[in-house]
Amino acid sequence: MSTFALTIKCRSTRGLVAAVAGYLAEQGCNITDSAQFDDLETGTFFMRMSFAPETGQALDALEAGFAAVAEPFGMDYAFHDEAARMKVIIMVSRFGHCLNDLLYRWRIGALPIDIVAVISNHMDYQKVVVNHDIPFHCIRVTKDNKPEAEARIMAVVEETEADLIVLARYMQILSDAMCRRMSGRIINIHHSFLPSFKGANPYKQAFERGVKLIGATSHYVTSDLDEGPIIEQDTIRVTHAQSAEDYVSLGRDVESQVLARAVHAHIHNRVFLNGSKTVVFPASPGSYASERMG
């Protein structure tokens, strides 16, 4: 049986949940998972429901009929087929741990996406990508050709009809224009636990400060460098006995896991932009299941 999801954002008011649940029940749908959040500071309501159309209702028909329910509440809503796969472009430079982790998770079905291209400003991972039967684009970037390079990147986005760009340690700053054009559709992994230790060598900075926790942050990209709405974060404990190089190696594992979890949340429509923050609902049962082991 197909499973669909409904995501809603609107002003908080009485009767929202009852109206949605009542409509789905009337249409022969069984709600299998539901999450909601009221932001008391802004008065904004967020909800995500997974449901199964037990009487065979089509997604288009459900969406069309829901307009009458949504209109009185001013709902910003969308219906999603949970079997549909987002088209994703991965961008990488010379650190391949996040790329390789994403490729593995994609290969075993833990990340149900269609990787339509990998873009890099170096040739280091061409063979790895091509061996996965994924198109590889080397688009070199210099201070003199950045507009042209970015135009080529956007051409790949348009040609592949990509839904999402994942910056898997892509070490180039995107222009304000591209950030605005792809707002909410570019996810980055930042190799530090924001807001501390920004810049090129955060692990070295952390080592020099003698920190006991290092971590990583995944966020949506905005024109404010490394300041976009945060999707996922994690940390790992370190000790005085470990070197700056240890910090880097341990940090790679955290980066890979945090980025994968952020992508997983986005592709399952669990992330809602809420001003400069996000609302991230828990994963539905079964959504982490893999098709195979390797």
Residue 133 has pLDDT above 50, yes or no: yes
| Pairing mode, strands 4-11 and 230-237 | unpaired
Report the pLDDT averaged over residues 47-56. 96
Ordered structural domains, the chain, with CATH: 4-81 (3.30.70.260), 87-280 (3.40.50.170)
Which residue from 187, 261, 194, 198 is spatially nearest to 220, judged by alpha carbons? 187
pLDDT tens profile 101-131: 999 999 999 999 999 999 999 999 999 999 9
pLDDT tens profile 211-244: 888 889 999 999 887 789 999 999 999 999 999 8
- Number of residues written out for the chain: 294
Residue 194 has pLDDT above 50, yes or no: no
pTM: 0.94
Q: How far apart are the C-alpha atoms of 215 and 152, rounded to whole Å?
A: 33
Report the pLDDT averaged over residues 125-146. 96
Report the pLDDT averaged over residues 145-150. 95
Q: How far apart are the C-alpha atoms of 38 and 42, rounded to whole Å?
A: 9
Peptide bond just before 202 cis, omega within 30 deg: no
Report the pLDDT averaged over residues 153-178. 96
pLDDT the model gives residue 227:
83
Residue 5 has pLDDT above 70, yes or no: yes
When pLDDT is cut at 50, 70 and 90, the band that residue 94 belongs to is very high
Q: How many CB atoms lie within 10 A of CB 250?
A: 17
Element at 23 (helix H, strand E): helix 16-26
Q: Which of 143-147, 185-189, 205-209, 240-244 has the lowest mean pLDDT?
A: 205-209
Q: How far apart are the C-alpha atoms of 271 and 7, rounded to whole Å?
A: 10
Residue 196 has pLDDT above 70, yes or no: no
In the chain the beta strands, taken as DSSP E runs, fall at 4-11, 29-39, 44-53, 76-81, 86-92, 113-120, 136-138, 164-167, 186-190, 213-220, 230-237, 271-274, 277-280
When pLDDT is cut at 50, 70 and 90, the band that residue 37 belongs to is very high
Report the pLDDT averaged over residues 133-158. 96
- β-pair partners for 88: 115, 164
Phi, psi of 215 (to 5 degrees): -165, -170
Point out the residues that are catalytic. 226
